[in-house]
Amino acid sequence: MITRVDDYLHAAPLSGAIPEQVGPFTLFRSTTVWPYYARPMPGSSTVIEPGDIDELRARCAELDIPLSLEWVVETCPSLGPAAAAAGLTVAEHPLLVLERAEFRPVSADAPCEILPAEDAVLRQASAVASLAFHDPGTSVGTAGPVERDAKAAEQPAERIAAMVERVANGITVSAGAFTDEGMVASGQHQAVGATTEIVGMGTLPSMRRRGLAAAVTSALAEHAFANGVDLILLSAADEAVAAVYERVGFHRIGSAGAAE
């Protein structure tokens, strides 16, 4: 299971990046408007050393791109200590999966819909996610529909155009939860073969603690399972956030590492 997850995470960036080998890493050089990262090669038994990080840092500097790493801790346990020794900030997050037989559909008072490839709708979804990640966690905050609309107007045209293109081409599937005040939660999944990952899940801070994230996750899972996927994965910010996804049937299989 964890090997399959690692393989997916190595394949997923290829829809928006060009891979380049740098020592034991694959550096994904973005061809879109958002940056990617480097990952250790799946299945490699190489022990990562701080010098490998320094080589990657030098290449990122040549390309004028941020140094960022993501990996599955259980498949490359040496990377975290090496990254920390090389001066990077290292974090680990719960890594969860969901199989069809474990799926427990969840609904909320706000209806959930799969979103069309339309500028205005995806602009709102991007704004919801931006506000959610600016105020992370599960505690109720202040940002709501007024702040969402202001943030939507600020979203770069190139970013929204790229989102529209990916949704139109079936690379990304987006979903949102709606009230009378518009979209209040959003998220995405992006399948590669029979595996997909739920990403970008966020709820307007003022609308938290209403089951909206679980409901949007459930809608994305239903779509994925209805379209040939049999394994869904995600990484949660922390244990409290992981508990939201466990309501839908996700369970933890390991940890996702990140360093920058």
pLDDT tens for 197-223 read 999 999 999 999 999 999 999 999 999
From 52, 68, 88, the end of a domain falls on: 88
Helix, strand, or coil (residue 141): coil
Cβ–Cβ < 8 Å for 42, 10 = yes
Share of the chain above pLDDT 90, in %: 98
DSSP run (H or E) holding 147: helix 145-154
The letter for the amino acid at 78 is S
Q: Where are the strands (E) in 31-150, listed by range?
A: 38-40, 69-72, 90-99, 112-114
Q: Are residues 144 and 226 in the same domain?
A: yes
**Structural domain range at position 42:** 2-88
Residues shown for the chain: 260
Q: Within 10 A of 70 (CB to CB), how many other CB atoms are there?
A: 21
The reply to whether 184 falls in a domain is yes
Number of domains in the chain: 2
Q: Are residues 242 and 141 in the same domain?
A: yes
pTM above 0.75? yes
Per-residue pLDDT at 44: 85
In the structure, what pLDDT confidence band is assigned to residue 127 with cuts at 50, 70 and 90? very high
- Is the pLDDT score of 195 beyond 90? yes
Do the strands 90-99 and 231-235 form a parallel or antiparallel pair, or are they unpaired? Answer: antiparallel
